[in-house]
Structure 1
Amino acid sequence: MKDYILAIDQGTSSSRAIIFDSEGNPAESAQEEFCQYFPESGWVEHDPEDIWQTVLRTARSVLEKFDLTTSKIRTIGITNQRETTLIWDRKTGIPVYRAIVWQDRRTSSYCKKLASAGHEEKINSKTGLLLDPYFSATKIKWILDSVPGVRERANRGELAFGTVDTYLLWKLTGGKEHKTEATNASRTMIFNIHTQQWDQELLQLFDIPASLLPEVKDSSDNFGMTEESLFGTAIPINGMAGDQQAALFGQTCFEKGMAKSTYGTGCFMIVNTGDVALKSSHRLLTTIAYRLNGKPTYALEGSIFIAGATIQWLRDGLKIIANASDAEPLAEKTPLEHGVYMVPAFTGLGAPYWDPNARGAIFWINQRHGY
């Protein structure tokens, strides 16, 4: 009987499931997009049920295609869009609000207020992050302060917070496990990357009850077992990591100085800095690359919020193209000297500017363009 691994890749615009053999070769895969919500300018939300159902359907789809009489799924690994924030009821599992996506800018004014009060250096020294709406802490606070009754319920210990990995783990285990791991925790802005603990001073600063928080484990660890009813058998979950760190690991960037660049919904470059949490002089992020056997490996990261999402906008927003693949032939027949360029700052600018109020712009367009 052959052994296989089921990988769940929960992204910003779609969910994917891939079965790999013991040598890392893909055997089956499935992908499903889901809806993006933009209720106000700069706001980006997902329906948590869309996240869960697309994960469940794609996982079931690849398992149904697979002959489990001659093979065995030994374990499940989860990778996920980072920073996206969910809070749900511990008893019912029902979210109190939609998932606030990492691209969301609604807490820009609060971040500016904290920066004006001189808190950015303290936050950066503890978390490696810059004071920006990108990260989870201000999203958590917004939900606590803006959704009626949520802060009171949180103070009573009735609610749980999680990034997408934690939410999926909760759902996959039938609410038995409330855990995250170090790479996702390092993107919340309340996790101290030096002590490897939730930081009490930052929890007080953001007014976040510690009772909301999950246990933080290594990136490779025992996270629990899936509910047998989901896939017909209980499967262990032994790996979790934020998507960009998972890409770094998947590209075998295990040595100091090795780097990867990912072009997806956004663009992200990460370089392994070994056991040293280097501080950038160019406003890059210091983050955790992965944590194994209790030992963190650190990284520097440059984050660009919008890349492939621009193609989605051309398709779903402007309806210029019917499919994402239609963009390539259009680009190929466009003369390089046309002179038009676009800054896709739909949800602000990331590294190194970190301007949450920036917006997209098209430059040097004239009447000749489009013919």
Structure 2
Amino acid sequence: MILGAFERHMILSLRWRWPKGPHTLRIPRHPRLLTKHLYYTTMTTLKQGEFVGSLDCGTTSSRFIIFDKHADIVAQKQLEFPQYYPEPGWHEHDAEEIMDVCNTCIDEACKDLETAGWSKDSVKVIGITNQRETAVAWSRKTGKPLCRAIVWDDSRTKNVVAHYEHKLATTGLELDGSFRKGDEGIKALRKVTGLPISTYFSAIKLRWMINHHEEVRNAHEEDDLLFGTVESWIVYRLTGGLEGGLHISDVTNASRTLLLNLHTLKWDKTLLDFFDLRPSILPKIASSSEVYGHIKGGTLAGVPIGGLVGDQQGALVGNKCLKQGEAKCTYGTGAFLLFCTGPDIVESQHGLLSTVAYQDGPGSKPFYALEGSIAVAGSAIKWLRDSMYMVTSADQVNTLAASVPNTGGVYFVTAFSGLLAPYWDPGAAGLLIGLSSYTTPAHIARATLEANAFQTRAILESMKLDSKTDLKHLKVDGGMTNGDKVMEILADIGGFDVIRPEMRESTALGSALLAGSAIRLFGWDISKPETLAEVNTRGNKTFNPNMPETDREKRWQGWQRAVERSRGWEEGIDSDD
């Protein structure tokens, strides 16, 4: 095809019009389309800015969010990935599918950033936050997963828990040169790790993989096994995989494995011996805020990774609960309440976990937290929608619940996979009690929202006893907080103010703050909360309790009776374990 004078002029003019920099052109083959494409590309110069990205890998979806210095969202992309439930109580993910979704989210969010007029080079650093206890096992030689990942809320490992409880009672845990057995062994384990033996934690899941997957067992025996939680897997892949990929984990995720010593922030040899695990399978431990390495390949090639944090600790940081006595609760698939205890490890005597809140850099003193976890929160609403067909969307649950003034005497103990803090009963079963011919779907919907509030109160009651602090307000975030009715119920049953920020992507924001702090982007410094004064300052909405105290206590007593009836239901499980 013969080009016209205008087209020839435009091609020649590119010699001086084309901006310098690492830009890639997708060139159409048709000459006129080529010229038109180049004209509009060169006429639209993308702006250079400074932004921070957060890769947030949750239980059901991943998203990449790009924030500015005020925590306003400039671009984002979220995609779900498949969930696998091969047996009752089992929940699995395909680690390759998670990685594919993460890469797509990064690519699409960066495209939206450029559509908004900003160069992708404006992303100066990224942080990563993740579902914490989900266990991933992959091969050192091939870089491929050896089996599906076992998700944090999976409860298949009850027999593994029973085995190690028996081992703790009979053989004991070696500490300071002597073996502690029985109650002394339980106390010793909690003193070192801050955790009980439970299906919840990832070392138990890894032990199940070794016991039941030949590929994992052989890899462990042949020293070909690499183990990590989801952030370890993502960092490994983003930094090159077999081509020099980093095998690391930050202190917040490591503190959820049952293998980390809270006091030394190192993998504990006594614990590795107890669970019969090779130390070579474990990732290197890093702080929550430092430049670990750079992304190799893809849309953000060369960008540093500067923040790693478990999702709930990320939400604590994102809510700027950086001082002793501040607390937040994230309501997603499950619910997780963290109370910052500052530089002190508080050993709970009332069923809570002691965990690392964050460490703001290599060599910095870590901050700790008390944590209470609810296995089923938003997933109970999903159950009403997808299994019981009571509603067609999650939003309708709030509307349905608001149509009645109370539950009509119904309590719903949402123990689909046992009860976590402060009960720690893997044998508890889901229970609807108080049903009558008067009961309607609206009463059950309201009881579902109340179950979330009652379990939150149970955790806070324990926190009061452990910390000797009476919490005046609770900061909240997560998808379940979008409905006003669930927040009103939480305030009424809890008897405290509930503060909901306008921008509620606190988990992603936490990893972004840690990443930005690592390179002092925008002057952020996690160790100096005043440097975050301009972050996420939009208005909050506060929900105040309106329920009379007598009604609140009557409902609380009813909940406790319902919980007792749900406990120890599964055959062979003792509710006192």
Deviations 1:297-316 (A, max 9, x none): 11111111110011222233
Q: Which of 136, 149, 152 pairs up with 1:86?
A: 136
Contact 1:28 1:62 in 2 (8 A): yes
1:346 is matched with 416
What is the CA–CA distance in structure 1 between the aligned matches of 2:104 and 2:393, rounded to whole Å? 22
2:220 matched to 1:150?
A: no
Query: Which amino acid is the alignment partner of residue 316 of structure 1?
Result: D
Conserved? CA contact 2:63–2:76, under 8 Å: yes
Matched, 1:206 2:272: no
Question: Which residue of 2 is the match for residue 365 of structure 1?
Answer: 435
Q: Which residue of 2 aligns with 1:233?
A: 301
Check the 8 A contact 2:63/2:102 in 1, yes or no. yes
1:159 has 2:225 as partner:
yes
Within the candidate set 393, 398, 404, 1:323 is matched to 393
2:50 aligned partner: 3
Deviates most, 316-325 or 36-45: 316-325
Aligned 8 A contact 1:83 1:184 in 2: yes
Relative to the length of structure 1, the TM-score reads 0.95
Whether contact under 8 Å (2:312, 2:330) holds in the other structure is yes
1:174–1:346 Cα change, 3 Å: same
Letter in 2 for 1:155: E
Q: How many Å apart are 1:54 and its aligned residue?
A: 2.0
TM-score (norm 2): 0.62
Task: After TM superposition, give the deviation of residue 337 of structure 1 in Å.
Answer: 4.5
Q: Secondary structure of 2:359's match? A: strand
Between the aligned partners of 2:375 and 2:422, the Cα distance in structure 1 is 12
> Separation in 1 of the partners of 2:89 and 2:120?
50
Residues in 2 aligned to 1:315 and 1:224: alpha-carbon distance in whole angstroms: 43
Aligned to 1:35: 82
Q: Which amino acid aligns with 1:317?
A: S
1-side partners of 2:377 and 2:339: how far apart?
20
Alignment partner of 1:18 out of 32, 57, 65:
65
Q: Which runs of 5+ in 2 are unaligned?
A: 1-47, 170-181, 442-577
Identity of aligned residues (%): 42
Measured after TM superposition, the shift of residue 71 of structure 1 is 5.6
Q: Which amino acid aligns with 1:183?
A: T
Distance across 2 between alignment mates of 1:231 and 1:312:
34
1:56 partnered with 2:125? no
Q: CA deviation at 1:39?
A: 1.8
Match among 147, 152, 159 for residue 97 of structure 1: 147
User: Within 2, Cα distance between the matches of 1:312 and 1:170?
Assistant: 32
SS state of the match for residue 319, structure 1?
coil
Tell me the alpha carbon deviations over residues 21-54 of structure 1, each in whole angstroms, 9 at most, x when there is no partner.
Answer: 1232211222222232222222221122232222
- 2:349 is aligned, of 277, 281, 288, to 281
SS of equivalent to 2:366 = strand
Aligned partners of 1:260, 1:23: CA distance in 2, in Å?
20
- The amino acid that maps onto 2:439 is H
Which amino acid is the alignment partner of residue 88 of structure 2? S
Q: Does 1:140 align with 2:190?
A: no
In 2, the alpha carbon distance for the partners of 1:211 and 1:342 equals 45
Question: Are 1:130 and 2:193 matched, yes or no?
Answer: no
**How far does residue 169 in structure 1 lie from its aligned partner after superposition?**
0.7
Name the SS for the 2:333 alignment partner.
coil
| Moved beyond 6 Å, runs of 4+ | none
Give the aligned partner of residue 179 of structure 1. Answer: 248
Cα 1:185/1:170, change in 2 over 3 Å: same
The structure that is helix-richer by fraction is 2
SS at match of 2:190: helix
How far is 1:56 from its partner?
A: 1.7
SS of 1:58's partner is helix
Distance 1:163 1:232, change over 3 A: closer
Question: Aligned AA for 1:24?
Answer: A
Deviation, 1:109, is 2.4
Q: How far, CA to CA, are the matches of 1:37 and 1:120 in structure 2? A: 33
Task: Measure, in 1, the Cα distance between the counterparts of 2:394 and 2:141.
Answer: 41
Range with greater deviation from structure 2 (300-309 or 46-55): 46-55
CA distance in 1, matches of 2:357, 2:259: 17
After TM superposition, the structure 1 stretch with the greater mean CA deviation from structure 2, 66-75 or 83-92, is 66-75
1:7/1:18 contact within 8 Å kept: yes
Indicate the SS of the match to 1:272: strand
- Residue 65 of structure 1: aligned partner: 112
Structure with the higher strand share, 1 or 2: 1
Q: Which residue number corresponds to residue 368 of structure 2?
A: 298
Query: Per the alignment, do residues 267 and 52 of structure 1 end up closer, same or farther by CA in structure 2, a change over 3 Å counting?
Result: same
Q: Sort the Cα spacing of 1:69 and 1:365 in 2 relative to 1 into closer, same or farther, 3 A.
A: same
Matched residue, 2:337: 269
The alpha-carbon deviation at position 164 of structure 1 amounts to 0.6
Q: Rg: which structure is higher?
A: 2
Q: What SS does the aligned partner of 1:362 have?
A: strand
Given that 2:57 and 2:63 are in contact with CA atoms closer than 8 Å, whether structure 1 keeps it comes out as yes
Letter in 2 for 1:41: P
Unaligned 5+ segments in structure 1 are none
Compared with structure 1, are the counterparts of its residues 283 and 51 closer, same or farther at alpha carbon in structure 2 (3 Å cutoff)? same
Partner residue, 2:42: none
- Provide the alpha-carbon RMSD of the alignment: 1.6
Deviates more, 1:29-38 or 1:179-188: 29-38
1:313 paired residue number: 383
